[in-house]
Amino acid sequence: MEKKIDNNQAPAELTFDITDERIFHHAVSFGFKGTLDQYNEDTKALPQTTEEETIDKLHRYLNEGGYTEDKEYFARFIAQLDASSTQLGGKEWRTFEVKKRRSNYRMGHGGKAVIALLPAMIFLILFTFYPIINTFIISFIEDFSWARGSGSFAILNYFRRLTEISNWQTGTPPPTPNWGFANYAYAFQDPSFTGAIGNTFILTIIIVPLSVIISLLIAVFLNSIKTLRGFYQTVFFLPYVTNTIAIGMVFSIMFSHESGGMLNQFLGLFGVEPQHWVTMSASKFNSGVAIVVYNVWNSMAFKILVFMSGLQSIDKQYYDASRIDGANRFTIFRRITVPLLSPQILYILITSTIGSFKMYTSVISLFGRSADGAGSFGGSDGLQWLTVVGYIYKNRDSRLAIASAGSVVLLLIVLVITLIQMQVSKRRVHY
């Protein structure tokens, strides 16, 4: 088909590079339409429009962007874009192709995933993986101590320490750090560490089931009422947004041994003498009661929130069908609510167990601080309810390698318990 456009006024030497990246993107902005597949094939289809409209639009846009050539320039440019079937004389455009320079590199899905995950991975590496690896290395180095100028890298500190000892000139050099299991042996031979493991297990066995059962019952109750539901949800959610130390101070006043203490006042109604709960004179049983009550109350807010979200996702048709069959409320709770909430219950059990094994601030907030600054855990020696994390904090300054060994043991305990829970849940959890 003969092209009907007058290019006599255009300079004869005028040429155009239609593969130019800048020209391509300018041209695309004037109506090139196409699917992603067409784009990948480096083709674009221009919708039906007149020659004058397209030239005017292109000229106006490029002129605003700093291009000052006259309209004939753009007419010549558009004419060269035509490969075979552009009809200019009839004032109607059909199709034409623009060849875009193809890049040799195309990012795959893996590269895009790396870019998306990179910020989170940087934080995980710096604040999660690196501390775990560093602690693991320190736990196997006997007589570990920090060398000047080695930074926080344990392996670099080890070699720096060896260099210092080999170059020691005056006095007695410090002991040479060696690799082994001496730190673990010392920890398991330390009565404080074994006692801390026992205390942590006792508190976990009592607190986790008790808090889960109470939270589930409260969530079911809140889900069944209509009046003041939002008010009650707010009341039960307050502990989650309140500082742990502040709550512990309030509970320490409630458990005061004086007659003005709220718990002692309540027990006095039944003729019970005032008891010591959170003082140095308190028995281990009384101190344990205070710890359990405080932790159960403090941990219920998050559990109630999770259970409430699970209850609201249960289809009401299950309850309607069970009522038609004559099932009572306990049967509905046992046969419908609990099985359908099993994923949330498993999640709460795992997270509560991990949180209970990391118990530290909730104990020292009740008993205050000790002479070493790590916090008191009750009793005359401040070790009555010492937890594993408390043992780690008490040794992190003077015996860092021992504290690291205790941290690794705690990690392994939590890992084993979590794996057991996951295995048991395969037959109990209904997704």
pLDDT greater at residue 80 or residue 356: 356
Q: Count the Cβ atoms, other than its own, within 10 Å of residue 203.
A: 21
Q: Is the pLDDT of residue 248 over 70?
A: yes
| Stretch 72-84: mean pLDDT | 51
Q: Count the Cβ atoms, other than its own, within 10 Å of residue 250.
A: 13
Q: Is the pLDDT of residue 413 over 50?
A: yes
What was the pLDDT predicted at 406?
93
Segment among 89-103, 133-147, 197-211, 281-295 with least mean pLDDT: 89-103
Q: Is the pLDDT of residue 304 over 80?
A: yes
Instruction: List domains and CATH numbers for the chain.
Output: 1-104 (no CATH), 109-182 (no CATH), 183-428 (1.10.3720.10)
Q: Is the pLDDT of residue 419 over 60?
A: yes
Please write down the long-range contacts of 386-389, taking CB distance under 8 Å and 24 or more positions apart: 386/192, 386/195, 386/196, 386/199, 387/196, 387/199, 387/200, 387/203, 387/359, 387/360, 387/363, 388/193, 388/196, 388/197, 388/200, 388/357, 389/357, 389/358, 389/359, 389/360
Of 53, 62, 64, 73, nearest in space to 23 by CA: 62
DSSP reduced 3-state for 226: coil
Segment among 104-108, 202-206, 275-279 with least mean pLDDT: 104-108
pLDDT band at residue 169 using 50, 70 and 90 as cut-offs: low
What was the pLDDT predicted at 257?
79
**Percent residues over pLDDT 90 in the chain:** 23
pLDDT band at residue 212 using 50, 70 and 90 as cut-offs: very high
Most distant CA atoms of the chain, gap in Å: 115
Segment among 155-164, 196-205, 316-325, 368-377 with least mean pLDDT: 368-377
Q: Is the pLDDT of residue 193 over 90?
A: yes
Tokens for 200? 């942590």
CA distance 426 to 413: 21
Bridge partner residues of 311 (DSSP): none
Q: Is the pLDDT of residue 262 over 60?
A: yes
What was the pLDDT predicted at 349?
93
CA distance 203 to 197: 10
For residue range 359-403, list pLDDT tens digits in order.
988 888 888 765 555 678 887 787 889 999 999 988 888 888 899
What was the pLDDT predicted at 61?
53
The DSSP line for 249-301 is HHHHHHT-SSTTSHHHHHHHTTTPPP--SSSTT--HHHHHHHHHHHHHHHHHH
**Percent residues over pLDDT 70 in the chain:** 70
pLDDT greater at residue 189 or residue 57: 189
Segment among 128-132, 239-243, 328-332 with least mean pLDDT: 239-243
pLDDT greater at residue 166 or residue 199: 199
| Stretch 83-93: mean pLDDT | 37
φ/ψ (deg, to 5) at 33: -120, 150
Tokens for 147? 């060398």
DSSP reduced 3-state for 45: strand
| DSSP letter assigned to residue 215 | H
pLDDT band at residue 404 using 50, 70 and 90 as cut-offs: very high
Q: Is the pLDDT of residue 239 over 70?
A: yes
| Stretch 265-277: mean pLDDT | 85
Quote the mean pLDDT of the chain.
75
pLDDT greater at residue 103 or residue 320: 320
Name the range with the highest mean pLDDT among 4-13, 79-88, 138-147: 138-147
